[in-house]
Amino acid sequence: MTPLALLGVISSAIFSGTSLLYTTLGEIVGERSGIVNLGLEGVLLVSAASGFAASAVSGNPYVGVLVAMLAGGLMNLVLGYLVVTRKANQLASGLALMFFGFGLSAWIGRAYVGAKIVGLPRLSLPGLSNLPILYGSLLSFDPLIYLVLPTAVLVWWVLFRTRWGLSLRAVGEAPDTAFAAGRNPGRIRYRALLVGGLLAGVGAAHLSIAYAMNWTEYMTAGRGFIAIALVIFSKWHPLRAIVGALLFSGAVAFQLLLQSSGIQVSPFLLNTVPYLLTLLVLIGWGGRRKYAAPASLGRVYQGTE
Amino acid sequence: MAEPTDRRAPAGPRRILNGGLRYAAMAALAFVLFGVILRLAGKDPLQAYRDIFTSTLGSAYGISEVFVTMTPLLLTALAVALPSRLGLINVGGEGQLYMGALLATWAALRFSHLPSWLLLPMMIVLGMIGGGLWAVPAGYLRAKGIVNETITTLLLNVVAPSIVAFFVFGFWHSPMDTNKTPNFVPAARLPTLFGTRVDLSLVIGVGLLALFWFVMTRTRWGLEMRSIGGNPWASRRNGIPVQRYIVGVMVVAGGLAGLAGMAQVSGYYGVLLANFSRGLGYMGFLVSWLAGGSPLGILVTSFVVAVILTGGNLLQLTRDVPYSVINILLAMTLFVVLARPRFQRRRKTA
Amino acid sequence: MKTKSLPSIVAVVVLAALLLAACGQAAPSAAPTEAGPCLTIGALHGGPINDAGYNQAMHESVMAIQESIPCVKIIEAENVPEEAGATSTMENMIQQGAQMIIATAFNHQYPALELSAKYPEVIFEHAGGWEMGPNFANFFGNPPDTWYLMGVAAGLMTESDQLGFVAAFPLGWTLTFINAFELGAQSVNPDAETTVAYTFAWGDAAKEADATNSLINQGADVVTMHVDSPATVISTAESRGVYSIGFQSLAAQQFAPENWISGTGYTLGDKLTWLASTVIDGTWEPIFLRCGIEDGCMAMAPFGPKVPQEVKDEVDRVRADIAAGNLVVFAGPIVDQEGTVKVADGEELSADAMGSVDWFVEGVNGSPK
């Protein structure tokens, strides 16, 4: 296992973990306000398709990222309308949104399959640009990757250090109390969903515009559900999500390395490890208040919400 | 999910008619919305709908195809409806499906020399065991109050296809086949009816729906389950073994979904394909939810959903619309129901 | 009560109208007019037809039929999910009047075979399979020879002596391609090694990017693949500054303007046209059709800008050798990774055997399972 190979695993984990992290951050914001979005997969697909299409049409990847963000936000607002205004069942609404996303993304993306786009530029950190291209290309990341850590910190800061974040979390814990204290839970949830959707859109954009630079139907391959699991794994905390995202995506990259080193570990079994880990974490830490889900979210899972 | 049956007026033709009208109204609204989208994309909506209806209801072949699509939905919806009577949310149909298919496939491959009347029941039982076992962690953890069954089943949903893929690639596929097992021997295939692709599992599914109705309305178990669903604390006080019910019901539900999986590989496909289910479990959840968990509702809803899904096949050929787009129509129908427009007076249920 | 039921009534009326309209539609919309098509062909693809890969190559081959025989009508379906969706799609096509079905995805074989028993008057042609029937046959190009040529090019161009191969599944044919590639590379560069990475999906772009990067990180400086669409692998290789060789469709070259070596693609248009013409004049017979680069079924892409003239000449020379029959790719002795002789001296690997290969030649790193 050469240093290049190890570096490669880390680089791969960062590349594929970025879109996962953005998506997870978005879902954390939404779930902290008490809304779980089972349709995240559909949201990602629509954002990825729209962003890719916009990039192909405009020739500008940044336009694509913006469009993807917008698409994500809009999709989440649909969920918001159903769940907040019409008070529909969250799980069913999320799944309906997922199917909607399957269909809509296929339609949007169809004309652009195989299109060649200008991806996001990849910039090396200063001082590293003198490395041979083989190494250098591992360490040159696109702007979205550079922004993901600051974004995670920003999300953490907003959620835990601002009044807005406090209101959001209050709504997530006890919406009726928050209402009595003069907050508008409905409006706060809408805002939370919008922000969540924008973040998810960035994650999707990274996948189709910066990483794979391609669009195919169902290309997110379950990342939405991975993010939902990751939210649970990181106990609804943005900073812990960073570790989780690296872990989840590092496992995939590591498995590829093992494959060609001749070590026979089934990639499928390795795939299951993150989820089993999440389950173990839940069982182990489930009781403690600090790590529990936001209370009104818990009621969604109980079916009493 | 709070159970509306307790508060509704007793069932009668009037109520069924009203319910039917509401359904039709919502379906119509959904079709109109989808038609608008088609028009925006430059397609002719009326022709598209005609295509959907002619290819499904317009011929015997079409109707048989609808039944083929409907069959797994019946079972996966039932797998959601049963636990919902207890107030449990089982979104794990997808995973339980896969595990049922896995065990059934193992039997089909291992015992391929056995005659059909021995092999098929074995596969059915194994299918139910597979799905049931997969639901045990969710039931147990919920009964002990450690983790919600929603979360557990969601996580296990992702794990199950990976395990199936592991077996397919690790042990079962031959170099000629890409991502599937060898074809099942005829003895391992569920018999089809009347020369169509509809297989025995449709009959099994309808039978189980009837059984479900009977158990819920006419037996003591049904009464106890509804009592737990309405008020678990009081039920426990009254001596109903709530925990045992939770685990037991989840296992049975898992078994139903596992049966659906077995039917898919034995009846529909005749082979185990990695990733053979594109959301059948979730579709079942939606069907059950749309139907309010009622057996008759499940029958009707799964039929309607099947019509939509089957009709979409022709759309791709004639209207140059990707097959996946039919999901939009499905979603529109769901959105309309979820948004509860004014002509549907529903109490605030979960 | 009145206001509540009015919308419902309207809705029911609308729904009933739709149903009546549907029932009133007697004939299918593709009713033939006087000058009907001389042949209606239904073609189905497993993936999108503009994927710059396998599906695009097949799509173009099918469309070539229409160019040569303008009176042919073609109904096409893309993204047909394996197996079950294929059956309903083919049935629908037959009901729309298709008299010939061309199923291009590997997994369409058994559904097509079953339907061929049900519709004996419809001709079924499947790409890449092995089953045969009275109205069921298959056709395909002959990639191993061209893979050998690509191996020759790769073996000469590589500086690290490490070649990378991204594969979808450990399928018999895939292993054969890899073996041919490695044999070709070894013939001009005995130290060349090929490392294989599986994505376990025909078209998962993220996994393909990951696999490509992983191979490059292990030292490969020429990358090629057997997945549905070469686009992601090639773009990723290009972004890392590594050579790439394309497969499936010649359209892949656009993704690697600088570091492209060459590529091969399926150009089955002529053969499909010939098959269609036999169906039209009724002389169709089931044949196991395989044809290679000499017959025009496979084509080689133009060389990229960085390929020196000597390499081009060598590849052409080897190509002529194969065409003349002087060189057979899988002629013995061939030894596998463990040293067992798989093809003895003086023997050749048959086409049947190629489809069920489960071993790698010496020099390939990776597991054949």
Question: Which stretches within B58-115 are classed as H helix?
Answer: 60-84, 93-110
The two tokens of residue C206 are 């993220």
What is d(CA A15, CA C70) in angstroms, rounded to the nearest whole number? 49
C-beta of residue C49 within 8 angstroms of C-beta of residue C78? yes
**How close, in Å, is residue A25 to chain B by CA atoms?**
18
* B183 CB burial (10 A radius; 0-12, 13-18, 19+): middle
Beta bridge partners of residue C290, listed in sequence order = C140
Residue written as tokens 């699509």? Answer: B69
Taking contacts as CB-CB distances below 8 angstroms, the residues of chain C near B279 are none
Mutation site, B26, B91, B144, B154, interface A, largest A CB count within 10 A: B154
What is d(CA B326, CA B313) in angstroms, rounded to the nearest whole number? 8
What is d(CA B98, CA B103) in angstroms, rounded to the nearest whole number? 9
Test A12 with C365 for CB contact under 8 angstroms: no
C-beta of residue B132 within 8 angstroms of C-beta of residue B73? no
Distant-in-sequence, close-in-space partners of B121: CB < 8 Å, separation ≥ 6: none
> Which of B22, B24, B175 lies nearest to residue C171, judging by beta carbons?
B175
Mutation site, B162, B323, B337, interface A, largest A CB count within 10 A: B162
What is d(CA B155, CA C72) in angstroms, rounded to the nearest whole number? 51
* 3-state class (DSSP) for residue B348: coil
Q: Annotate A23-39 with b (16+ C-beta within 10 A) or e (fewer).
A: bbbbbbbbbbbbbbbbb
The larger pLDDT score, comparing residue A67 to residue B158, is at A67
CB atoms within 10 A of CB B168: 23
Pairing of strands A123-124, A140-141: antiparallel
The larger pLDDT score, comparing residue C351 to residue B261, is at B261
The larger pLDDT score, comparing residue A299 to residue B197, is at B197
Q: Which of residues 19-38 of B touch C (CB under 8 A)?
A: 21-22, 24-29, 31-32
Roughly how many angstroms between the first and final C-alpha of chain B, as a whole number?
A: 5
Contacts of C10-17 with C-beta under 8 Å, sequence gap 24+, read C10/B25, C10/B28, C11/B21, C11/B24, C11/B25, C11/B26, C11/B27, C11/B28, C11/B29, C12/B21, C12/B24, C12/B25, C12/B28, C14/B28, C14/B31, C14/B32, C15/B24, C15/B27, C15/B28, C15/B31
The larger pLDDT score, comparing residue C250 to residue A19, is at A19
Q: Any idea what DSSP says for residue A206?
A: I
Residue written as tokens 């993010």? Answer: A227
Give yes or no for residue C15 having a pLDDT over 70.
Answer: no
- Count how many Cα atoms sit within 13 Å of the Cα of residue B277 in the half-sphere of its side chain: 35
Tell me what pLDDT residue B350 has. 41
Mean model confidence pLDDT for chain A: 86
Among chain B residues, the shortest Cα distance to C86 is held by B313
> Helix A185-205 to helix A163-173 angle, to the nearest 10 degrees?
110
**Identity of the residue numbered B305:** V
Tell me what pLDDT residue C34 has. 46
Q: Comparing C-alpha atoms, which of B151, C237, C209, B158 is closest to residue A252?
A: C209
Test C11 with B273 for CB contact under 8 angstroms: no
Measured in whole angstroms, the distance separating CA C271 from the mean position of its chain's CA atoms is: 15
Tell me what pLDDT residue C17 has. 53
CB atoms within 10 A of CB B308: 22
CB atoms within 10 A of CB B113: 8
Q: Which of residues 64-93 of B touch C (CB under 8 A)?
A: 65
CB atoms within 10 A of CB B192: 16
> Helix B13-40 to helix B45-57 angle, to the nearest 10 degrees?
130
Test B180 with C107 for CB contact under 8 angstroms: yes
| pLDDT digits 0-9 by tens, A249-279 | 888 777 777 776 666 677 788 878 888 888 8
Could you state, in order of their start, the residue ranges of all structural domains in chain C? 39-141, 144-266+296-365
Q: Comparing C-alpha atoms, which of C122, C64, C134, C58 is closest to residue C90?
A: C122
The larger pLDDT score, comparing residue B344 to residue C124, is at C124
Give yes or no for residue C189 having a pLDDT over 60.
Answer: yes
Instruction: Output the 3-class SS for B138-156.
Output: HHHHHHCCCCCHHHHHHHH
Test C7 with B25 for CB contact under 8 angstroms: yes
Mutation site, A41, A93, A95, interface B, largest B CB count within 10 A: A95
What is d(CA A265, CA A259) in angstroms, rounded to the nearest whole number? 7
Taking contacts as CB-CB distances below 8 angstroms, the residues of chain C near B318 are 29-30, 96
The domain made up of C144-266+296-365 has a fold known as Rossmann fold (3.40.50)
Mutation site, A14, A23, A107, A113, interface C, largest C CB count within 10 A: A113
Measured in whole angstroms, the distance separating CA C189 from the mean position of its chain's CA atoms is: 28
C-beta of residue B180 within 8 angstroms of C-beta of residue B188? no
Contact of B263 with chain C, judged by CB distance below 8 Å, is answered with: no
Taking contacts as CB-CB distances below 8 angstroms, the residues of chain A near C257 are none
Distant-in-sequence, close-in-space partners of B104: CB < 8 Å, separation ≥ 6: B123, B124, B126, B127, B130, B261, B262, B265, B266
φ/ψ bin of A222: left (φ > 0), alpha (ψ from -120 to 50), beta (otherwise): left
The larger pLDDT score, comparing residue C220 to residue C22, is at C220
Contact of C83 with chain B, judged by CB distance below 8 Å, is answered with: yes
Contact of A207 with chain C, judged by CB distance below 8 Å, is answered with: yes
Q: Annotate C324-363 with b (16+ C-beta within 10 A) or e (fewer).
A: eeebebbeeebebbeeeebbeeeeebeeeebbebebbbbb
Q: What is the pLDDT along chain B (350 residues), one digit of tens a residue?
A: 444 444 444 556 776 677 677 777 777 888 888 888 888 777 788 888 887 887 788 788 888 888 988 999 999 999 999 999 888 889 999 999 999 999 999 999 888 888 888 899 999 999 999 999 999 999 998 888 888 888 889 889 989 998 998 888 878 876 666 677 888 888 888 888 877 788 888 999 999 999 999 998 899 888 888 888 888 888 888 888 888 889 999 999 999 999 999 999 988 888 888 878 878 899 899 899 888 888 988 998 899 888 888 887 777 777 777 777 788 888 888 898 888 765 444 444 44
The domain made up of C39-141 has a fold known as Rossmann fold (3.40.50)
Give yes or no for residue A185 having a pLDDT over 80.
Answer: yes
Give yes or no for residue A125 having a pLDDT over 50.
Answer: yes
What is d(CA B158, CA B152) in angstroms, rounded to the nearest whole number? 10
What is d(CA B103, CA B171) in angstroms, rounded to the nearest whole number? 14
Among chain C residues, the shortest Cα distance to B31 is held by C15
| pLDDT digits 0-9 by tens, C206-257 | 888 888 888 887 788 899 999 888 888 998 888 778 899 988 877 888 888 8
Structure confidence at residue C8 as a pLDDT band (50, 70, 90): very low
Beta bridge partners of residue C194, listed in sequence order = C163, C364
Q: How many residues does chain A have?
A: 305
Test A275 with B159 for CB contact under 8 angstroms: yes
Give yes or no for residue C3 having a pLDDT over 80.
Answer: no
Residue B10: cis peptide before it, omega within 30 degrees of 0: no
What is d(CA C290, CA C126) in angstroms, rounded to the nearest whole number? 12
Tell me what ipTM this predicted complex has: 0.86
Test B54 with C28 for CB contact under 8 angstroms: yes
Tell me what pLDDT residue A133 has. 65
- Per-residue pLDDT, averaged over C194-201, amounts to 87
Beta bridge partners of residue C298, listed in sequence order = C266
C-beta of residue A63 within 8 angstroms of C-beta of residue A251? no
Torsions phi, psi for C343 (to 5 deg)? -130, 120
- Transcribe A9-30 into DSSP letters: HHHHHHHHHHHHHHHHHHHHHH
Q: Any idea what DSSP says for residue C162?
A: E
Q: Any idea what DSSP says for residue A128?
A: -
| pLDDT digits 0-9 by tens, A95-123 | 999 999 999 998 898 888 877 777 777 77
Chains that touch C (3 or more CB pairs under 8 A): A, B
What is d(CA A297, CA A304) in angstroms, rounded to the nearest whole number? 10
**How close, in Å, is residue B178 to chain C by CA atoms?**
6
C-beta of residue C54 within 8 angstroms of C-beta of residue C47? yes
Give yes or no for residue A299 having a pLDDT over 90.
Answer: no
Give yes or no for residue C25 having a pLDDT over 60.
Answer: no
Q: Comparing C-alpha atoms, which of C225, C223, C224, C153 is closest to residue C185?
A: C153
C-beta of residue B325 within 8 angstroms of C-beta of residue B54? no
Q: Which domains does chain B have, with CATH numbers?
A: 20-35+44-349 (1.10.3470)
- Per-residue pLDDT, averaged over A183-194, amounts to 92
